[in-house]
Amino acid sequence: MDVNFSKMEGLGNDFIFMDDRTGAIKTHLNYPDIARRLCHRHFGIGADGIILILNSHTEDIRFRIFNADGSEAQMCGNGMRCFAKLLFETGIIDRPEFHVETLAGRVTPKVFFDKENRVSSVRVDMGEPALTPDKIPFTGLLSDAVSCPVTVGDDTVLLTPVSMGNPHAVVFVPDIRAMDVEKTGTPIENHPCFPEKTNVEFIEIVNEHEINMRVWERGAGETLACGTGACAAVVASHLNGKTGPEVLVHLAGGDLSIYWDKKTNHIYKTGPATFVFSGKICL
Ligand SMILES: N[C@@H](CCC[C@H](N)C(=O)O)C(=O)O
């Protein structure tokens, strides 16, 4: 069957969007297979994941994301900004702020405009972080919830487990450029302490308001940015007394502004969303 798609990116974290509100794609094909095939950088379109636009019974619209390896994730922060821009600009949603059903619960994006009335940035109410072992899920030693020792090969790594609907392990390092992100990230991603695997963020503190981050993503490898990861990193940095609750996160693909509103416990993430191209592919 021929399927229309749009490719978009948020700070270089790139996604292929498909509208399956009629259910036609799901009737003929399987989403994990489509993700593996289309995300391939040499044999496909190339992306970190695919995102489906779907009907919701509880919210304005429903969002599902599959990583490049075909695994389904609960949420995606960069993908959500692109989703909001695409839905607003194509007229699928006609309000700048709306509610989205995800496997991580309700997420609320709001689009902002430039002088030409084009979407310039998107702020997303990402909901509340979760820190309890059952919610992450994390089965390791939690004597001190913000620095859990995990054995990786011959080393012990101290990490902070955080859920933003999807699991994250935040590791503080002195210099992110010196990191072999794949070498350290892979065993943490697949560590038995994380029964659903985990995304891994390597964080270098710049000052109270800025951090540098590199990320090893569950199901996708090293990416240029991770929105849920940036939120988890700010939660971990603040809980460890290294930053305030409002932080600019510098990633390989650009910057994200993260604000943890301690009164409501909600996290707000603001950043760009960019259309790359659209097309039709025979699946
Ligand atoms: N890049 C995303 C997160 C995508 C899902 C993640 N790999 C997972 O499996 O949880 C983001 O911007 O949040």
pLDDT at 279 over 60: yes
Find the mean pLDDT for residues 216-244.
Answer: 98
Contact 188, 152 (CB under 8 A): yes
> What's the CA angle centered on 136, arms 11 and 47, to 5 degrees?
30
* Domain interval for residue 175: 148-264
Distance 226 CA to ligand 1 centre (A): 6
- Label the pairing between strands 199-207 and 167-172: parallel
Query: What's the CATH code of the domain at 154?
Result: 3.10.310.10
Domains in the chain, number: 2
Q: Is the pLDDT of residue 143 over 60?
A: no
Structure tokens at 9: 């990116």
* Ligand 1 pocket: which of 71, 75, 249 to mutate (most atoms within 8 A of CB): 75
Is 49 labeled as ligand-binding? Answer: no
pLDDT tens for each residue of 89-124:
999 999 999 999 999 999 999 999 999 989 999 999
Query: pLDDT averaged over the chain?
Result: 96
Q: Which of 15, 65, 80 to mutate to test the pocket of ligand 1 (most atoms within 8 A of CB)?
A: 65
For residue 144, is pLDDT > 90? no
Q: ipTM score of the complex?
A: 0.99
State how far the Cα of 31 lies from the Cα of 70, in Å rounded to an integer: 8
Q: Look at residue 138 and tell me if it is in a domain.
A: no
115 and 166 in a single domain? The answer is no
Q: How far is the CA of 116 from the centre of ligand 1 (A)?
A: 31
Any known ligand binding at 78? yes
Task: Give catalytic residue positions.
Answer: 76, 226
Residue 81's closest CA among 209, 263, 260, 258? 258
Same domain, residue pair 179 and 258: yes
Whether residue 152 sits in one domain with residue 113: no
Give, using CA atoms, the residue closest to atom 2 of ligand 1.
76
Note the pLDDT tens digit of each residue in 158-183: 999 999 999 999 999 999 999 999 99
Residues 230, 276: one domain?
Answer: no
Q: Is ligand 1 within 6 A of the CB of residue 13? A: yes
Regarding whether 76 and 168 lie in a shared domain, the answer is: no
What is the 174 CA–ligand 1 centroid distance (Å)? 24
Rounded Cα gap, residues 87 and 95, in angstroms: 10
Q: Considering the domain boundaries, does residue 43 fall inside one?
A: yes
- Mean pLDDT value across residues 272-277: 98
For residues 158 and 249, membership in a common domain is answered with yes
Q: d(Cα 66, Cα 39) in Å, to the nearest integer?
A: 10
Q: Which residue has the higher pLDDT, 205 or 147?
A: 205
Based on the fold, state whether residues 94 and 158 are members of the same structural domain: no
User: Is 199 annotated as ligand-binding?
Assistant: yes
What are 12's two structure tokens? 């270089």
